[in-house]
């Protein structure tokens, strides 16, 4: 029961049609359009772009008296659309209808082409009836331009104990945006909008912070657990809204972080961990659309196994539902993994783990690709690309933390995972190489990285990182979409953090399938611009920068760690040289003086820049209650 529209194409990027129809402001105009359609005696649809079936997923056309469906492309003739065979638009003059619904935005040109075919008595309406105000658009002349819909969702909660805080920066300013603003709507668990506001962003790279407690006070709200809709208007350069989201408790016992939700709903997600002994895992199913998720449309299965369990409850438009994994899949335990059959109903979902000690953490699953096939060239890449695809993740200081890695299948065609785990000291020295063999799709193999380090005599630098790479020695096939879930456990407090990501090719002048990826523009991406949000003292901020290299690159990085104030001005800069293949772990309070932090203010943030190489980073927070968070950073 997946929704029948495209949200993202890996060749062409995001498709904005569903965003345009499902925008909260457009949804408010839907009743008037639907009333006009339903009130007509006989309706003809003109579907020049072949999107009528997709539109019908978000606009209820069941009560509309559709008599004809006309198309422009001869290739589209004879298709069944909304239960009717398509006809050439040249036959429109003979149709006995009183309303023509042009199923498209920017209808002026389309209508002009067929104006002579439309009888005088026929009323013409289009999707332009749902347009949001032109003042919110970057390119009003092309409504479905991705820059007009730089939107996203964030899990957002506040009650008497638990809170959320979203942080990012106005990175659109560096691409030339001069009048950007952040427009927000907060939905509660039922999908009801309970707050709405707009914040001007100006023309500098100012900090953007949304605190759930401040929102609650401002709008006089009670407790809520829902989602925040974000739309950055009048942007340029980037159509993706990236952010870091911290969740925390008043008593300091709970602390976790996750990042942006990836604003294109997908058919499948994977990397959802089954609960360990004594744990509870909750998947937050949050509807991204203005129509309900029908009962039975959202499903789960143990990775690699055929039995599917569906959610038997309907989730309202923009609503949220906490689905406890142990109740629907009893007996399944870590390190088993769960596949999420989301059917394009939700952007990348969050999951929440409540541990044995009662501490909780939030993380996200990842998109499972439906368009990938095994790549027979991958085994040959070693001759040109060295390590090729690398998935790097920290190994935190073993005296405090236990670090684990779980390779995760992330394509529906992926039946094997031929993987090796390489443990690397902070200096770049390889300490351990553990071949995991050709893992099956339904494997449950978690690697205890800390135990591997201790068996090798420890890490001379006191910290390091792991690189998951392809290893075809035992056969198997890869597709370049190697992913892993990394788990970190505090050995004293029992607090934990999960983070997950996918492999890339790093730091090589050759390119392969758009790798090494670039933040903006074509491959190769050989520079760094990472965002690091700072925790409010006494909460400490940590960061680990990893310098992965598929082939030998510069001996050391030339990295600047730049402290910025709340309006984006550089306050202080530190320079570090990360060894090629190694990493650098630092704390914010040890990097910048107290005076510099005071000068930067309470909403300061850090930019990490390097023009010589691509770094991969992880950020986290530490407090005095044994709680910490960790997730990968993002760049722009």
H runs (alpha helix) in 243-381: 325-328
Question: Looking at residue 12, what is its pLDDT?
Answer: 63
Question: Looking at residue 10, what is its pLDDT?
Answer: 66
Residues of the chain scoring pLDDT < 50: none
Convert the pLDDT of each residue in 115-174 to its tens digit: 999 999 999 999 999 999 999 999 999 999 999 999 999 999 999 999 999 999 999 999
Question: Looking at residue 383, what is its pLDDT?
Answer: 86
Residue 20, CA distances (Å) to 30, 84, 472 in order: 12, 25, 44
The contacts of residue 522 (CB under 8 Å, 6+ apart) are: 514
The CATH fold of domain 8-134: Rossmann fold (3.40.50)
H/E run at residue 35: helix 30-39
The contacts of residue 411 (CB under 8 Å, 6+ apart) are: 368, 369, 370, 372, 479, 481
H helices then E strands: how many in the chain?
Answer: 11, 43
Question: Looking at residue 526, what is its pLDDT?
Answer: 96
Measured distance between the N- and C-terminal CA atoms of the chain, rounded to whole angstroms: 35
Question: Looking at residue 179, what is its pLDDT?
Answer: 95
Domain boundaries, the chain: 8-134, 150-364, 378-635
Q: Which two tokens stand for residue 257?
A: 């972080």
CA 444 from centre of chain = 25
Report which of 412, 259, 226, 281 is spatially closest to residue 348, judged by C-alpha positions. 259
The model's pTM is 0.95
Convert the pLDDT of each residue in 299-352 to its tens digit: 999 999 999 999 999 999 999 999 999 999 999 999 999 999 999 999 999 999
Give 29's DSSP letter. Answer: T
Q: Is 148 helix (H, G, I), strand (E, B) or coil?
A: helix
């Amino acid at each position: 029961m997946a929704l029948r529209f495209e949200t993202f194409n890996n060749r062409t990027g995001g498709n904005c049609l569903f965003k345009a129809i499902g925008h909260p402001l457009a949804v408010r105009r839907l009743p008037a359009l639907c009333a006009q359609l339903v009130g007509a005696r006989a309706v003809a649809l003109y579907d020049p772009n072949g999107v009528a079936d997709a539109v019908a997923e978000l606009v209820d056309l069941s009560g509309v008296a559709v008599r004809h469906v006309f198309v422009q492309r001869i290739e589209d003739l004879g298709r069944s659309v909304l239960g009717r065979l398509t006809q050439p638009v040249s036959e429109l003059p003979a149709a006995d209808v009183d309303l023509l619904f042009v199923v498209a935005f920017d209808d002026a040109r389309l209508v002009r082409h067929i104006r002579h075919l439309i009888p005088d008595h026929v009323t013409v309406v289009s999707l332009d009836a749902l347009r949001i105000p032109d003042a919110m658009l970057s390119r009003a002349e092309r409504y479905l331009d991705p820059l007009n819909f730089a939107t996203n969702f964030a899990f957002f909660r506040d009650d008497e104990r638990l809170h959320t805080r979203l942080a990012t920066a106005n990175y659109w300013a560096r691409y030339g945006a001069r009048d950007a603003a952040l427009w927000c709507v907060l939905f509660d668990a039922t999908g009801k909008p309970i707050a709405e506001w707009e914040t001007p962003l100006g023309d500098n790279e100012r900090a953007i912070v949304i605190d759930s407690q401040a929102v609650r006070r401002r709008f006089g709200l009670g407790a809520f657990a829902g989602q925040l809709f974000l739309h950055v208007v009048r942007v340029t350069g980037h159509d993706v809204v990236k952010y870091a989201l911290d969740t925390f408790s008043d008593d300091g016992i709970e602390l976790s972080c996750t990042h942006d939700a990836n604003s294109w709903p997908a058919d499948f997600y994977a990397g959802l961990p089954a609960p360990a002994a004594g744990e509870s895992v909750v998947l937050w199913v949050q509807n991204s659309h203005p129509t309900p998720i029908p009962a039975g449309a959202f499903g789960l299965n143990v990775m690699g196994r055929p039995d599917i369990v569906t959610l038997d409850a309907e989730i309202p438009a923009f609503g949220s539902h906490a689905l406890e994994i142990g109740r629907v899949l009893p007996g399944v335990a870590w390190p088993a993994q769960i596949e999420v059959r989301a059917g394009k109903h939700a952007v990348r979902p969050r999951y929440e783990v409540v541990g044995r000690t009662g501490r909780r953490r939030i993380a996200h699953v990842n998109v499972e690709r439906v368009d990938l096939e095994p790549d027979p060239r991958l085994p040959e890449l070693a001759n040109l690309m060295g390590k090729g695809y690398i998935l790097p993740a920290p190994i935190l200081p073993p005296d405090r933390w236990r670090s684990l890695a779980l390779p995760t299948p992330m394509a529906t065609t992926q039946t094997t995972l031929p993987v090796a785990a390489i443990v690397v000291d902070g200096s770049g020295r390889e300490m351990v190489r553990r071949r995991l063999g050709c893992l099956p799709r339904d494997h449950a193999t978690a690697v205890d990285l800390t135990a591997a380090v201790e068996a090798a005599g420890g890490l001379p630098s006191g910290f390091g990182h792991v690189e998951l790479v392809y290893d075809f020695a035992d056969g198997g096939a890869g597709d370049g979409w190697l992913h892993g879930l990394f788990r970190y456990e505090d050995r004293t407090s029992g607090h934990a953090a999960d983070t997950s990501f996918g492999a890339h090719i790093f730091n090589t002048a050759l390119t392969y399938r758009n790798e090494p990826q670039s933040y903006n523009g074509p491959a190769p991406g050989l520079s760094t611009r990472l965002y690091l949000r700072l925790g409010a003292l006494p909460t400490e901020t940590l960061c680990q920068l990893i310098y992965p290299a598929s082939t030998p690159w510069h001996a050391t990085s030339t990295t600047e760690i730049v402290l910025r104030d709340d309006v984006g001005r550089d306050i202080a800069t530190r320079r570090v040289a990360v060894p090629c293949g190694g990493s650098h772990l630092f704390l914010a309070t040890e990097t910048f003086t107290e005076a510099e932090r005071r000068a930067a203010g309470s909403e300061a943030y850090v930019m990490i820049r390097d023009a010589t190489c691509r770094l991969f980073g992880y950020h986290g927070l530490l407090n005095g209650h044994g709680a910490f968070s960790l997730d990968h950073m993002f760049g722009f």
